[in-house]
Amino acid sequence: MSFWVEILVILVVLSNLRVLGASRLSACIQTVAFQGALLGLLPVLANLDALTVRLLLQAGSSTFLKAMVFPWLLGRALRQAGLQREVEPFVGFTASLAAGVLFLGAALWLGARLPQAGPEGLGRLVPTALFTIFVGLFVIVSRRQAVTQVLGYLILENGIYAFGMAFAEHQPLLVELGILLDVFMAVFVMGITLFHIHREFDHLDTDRLTALKH
């Protein structure tokens, strides 16, 4: 693994921790966007000596969507819904950070036990990928607002993307396009749903949706 790739991986880990610790929604969105850009850059930096047009296009489209389109969509939803700027967690920020450290440990332990099937270059990406997946799930579980759940979903997808990269450097174009389309649709639908939830209930707290249960 080259020097730049090491730096990127460290930055991904740090961005995960920042999402756990940040109290402002806009900061979370920016961090997730930053993480998306990092992961988009990763395949390019890992293959600096064997760049292809396809790789560049893939990285470009992924970066464009994750670092620009999604944050813009979420930011717009935030403005339109006019909701609070706070994250409103179930689990406090300090406790979240502590949980994050635990996740990191678990990811390292699991990553060491997983069979290393990938190419020699990015094999050590696996713990980072697992960590990102855990953080994504944790954000979905521990945060109250619907926007943060979308964010958690995006982080989860970033983790899956990184995981795929660790195992197959040149992901089949079809798979990559499929995942991107998936996420795009998901964010799109969630954006619409957020808007509708807001219009119906005047708030975006998912825990208050229990009133729908009969």
Contacting range for other proteins; rule: CB under 8 A; set: 60-68, 69-77, 160-168, 202-210: 202-210
Q: What sign results for the dihedral spanned by CA atoms 154, 160, 165, 166? A: positive
Size of the site for other proteins (CB under 8 A): 19
Structure tokens at 119: 């190419």
Structure tokens at 174: 């079809």
Quick one: which of 45, 97, 99, 140 contacts other proteins (CB under 8 A)? 140
Q: Considering the complex, state which of residue 42 and residue 126 has its C-beta at the smaller distance from other proteins.
A: 126
Report if residue 142 touches other proteins, rule: CB under 8 A: yes
CA–CA dist 135, 184 (Å, integer): 20
Q: Considering the complex, state which of residue 43 and residue 111 has its C-beta at the smaller distance from other proteins.
A: 111
Q: 15, 20, 60, 21: which is closest to 41 by C-alpha?
A: 60
Q: Considering the complex, state which of residue 30 and residue 148 has its C-beta at the smaller distance from other proteins.
A: 148
Report if residue 174 touches other proteins, rule: CB under 8 A: no
Contacting range for other proteins; rule: CB under 8 A; set: 67-75, 92-100, 109-117, 175-183: 109-117
Burial 163-192 (b: 16+ CB within 10 A, else e): bbbbbebebeeeebeebbeebeeebeebbe
Report if residue 149 touches other proteins, rule: CB under 8 A: yes
Contacting range for other proteins; rule: CB under 8 A; set: 45-53, 121-129, 130-138, 162-170: 130-138
Q: What sign results for the dihedral spanned by CA atoms 184, 4, 168, 173? A: positive
CA–CA dist 155, 135 (Å, integer): 7
Quick one: which of 55, 108, 114, 177 contacts other proteins (CB under 8 A)? 114
Q: What sign results for the dihedral spanned by CA atoms 104, 66, 19, 209? A: negative
Q: Considering the complex, state which of residue 8 and residue 194 has its C-beta at the smaller distance from other proteins.
A: 194
Report if residue 86 touches other proteins, rule: CB under 8 A: no
Site residues (CB under 8 A) for other proteins? 90, 110, 113-114, 134, 137-138, 140-144, 149, 206-207, 209-210, 212-213
